[in-house]
Structure 1
Amino acid sequence: MEECIFCKIAQDKIDSEKIYENENTVSFLDINPRAPGHSLVIPKKHVKNLINLDDEIVSELFKVTKKVEKLLKSSIEPDAFTIGINEGEEAGQEISHLHVNIIPRFKRDGGGPVQSVVKNPPKKEISKIGKMIRESLKINKTHSK
């Protein structure tokens, strides 16, 4: 399999506008920004989604996300942030490598809250969905023993 573009960025095989890097993660400006300072934080190890990322790196990924948010806050002074992950093609994941979007927000920028991107209300009652999820948790605990 040919390496993905984010793997190439992590390995310095292609140019990017890196703003932070450590042993396991790298952050760089999005090449198609939705706002000034729109940044991505990625694990250097190729994984498609959060579930497949080692727990230690998950923690580091979000610590770096926090650090980059602070860098953006002090440098470009946005009013707020939208932070999110698109996992899977149906969710809009264009590059099959886990990445956290940090999008600076400004008053009257025309954007909405993250929950406004989906309009698919459940047909089942919330209590039934909650029960299904809790039952899945019990099944997973039994299988992990």
Structure 2
Amino acid sequence: MKSDDIFCKLYDVWKRDGKVIFENDHAYSILSVTPATPGHAIVIAKDHVKCLEELRGIALEGFVDAIPSTSLAIQGIYNSNPENMVRFYQSLKENPPVPPSADLAIRMLQDRNLRIKPDTAYNVGINVGGYAGQLVDHLHAQLFPRREKGPGMVTAMEKLLQE
């Protein structure tokens, strides 16, 4: 990974500090510092590419495989001790790396589902391009663990686009 984006620059730091929750030869995952749900993770391609179309063969397979593997890693955090997730959000609240992190961490700490292990239900989203909301020009997927029935991606997008 050789670029100036945050995912390339901070990989070694995140790896050293134990923030990488899953890794294979082609992707790695971290818990999001701007979480939308407890356990929200980011799956990041190790190759510096902007979109899925730029990955081929085993690199694409490795990135896609990292998505369900990240879900299992999140379940593993809960299996070992749900308080590890609580500690992550407490640390995020006390040491926010970006301005919204502290408020979002407080929201996660107040979420009634924080200590509940997610099952295998999750939503995945990939923003490609600025119009779609991609803020970092490096392929990554957002993984949102789900604990309760709620709107899927299509319903959520319909509501968002109507606003």
Amino acid at match of 1:4: D
In structure 1, what is the equivalent of residue 8 of structure 2?
7
Instruction: Report percent identity of matched pairs.
Output: 33
Residue deviations 1:77-109 (CA, integer Å, cap 9, x gap): 21521112111111111111111111111226x
The answer to which structure has the higher helix fraction is: 2
Structure 1 residue matching 2:10: 3-state secondary structure: helix
Match of 1:102 in 2: 143
Query: In structure 1, what is the equivalent of residue 53 of structure 2?
Result: 51
* Aligned partner of residue 100 in structure 1, secondary structure: strand
Instruction: Give the C-alpha shift of residue 25 in structure 1.
Output: 1.5
Question: Normalized against structure 2, the TM-score is what?
Answer: 0.62
1:112 aligns with 2:151: yes
Q: Please say if residues 3 and 48 of structure 2, whose CA atoms lie closer than 8 Å, have aligned partners that are also in contact.
A: no
Structure 2 counterpart of 1:60, from 57, 62, 70: 62
Matched, 1:78 2:118: yes
Instruction: Give the match for residue 107 of structure 2.
Output: none
* TM-score, normalisation: structure 1: 0.69
Aligned to 1:41: 43
Answer whether contact 1:7 1:45 (CA < 8 A) is retained: no
SS across alignment from 2:7 = helix
Aligned length: 118
* Coordinate RMSD, CA, aligned: 2.5
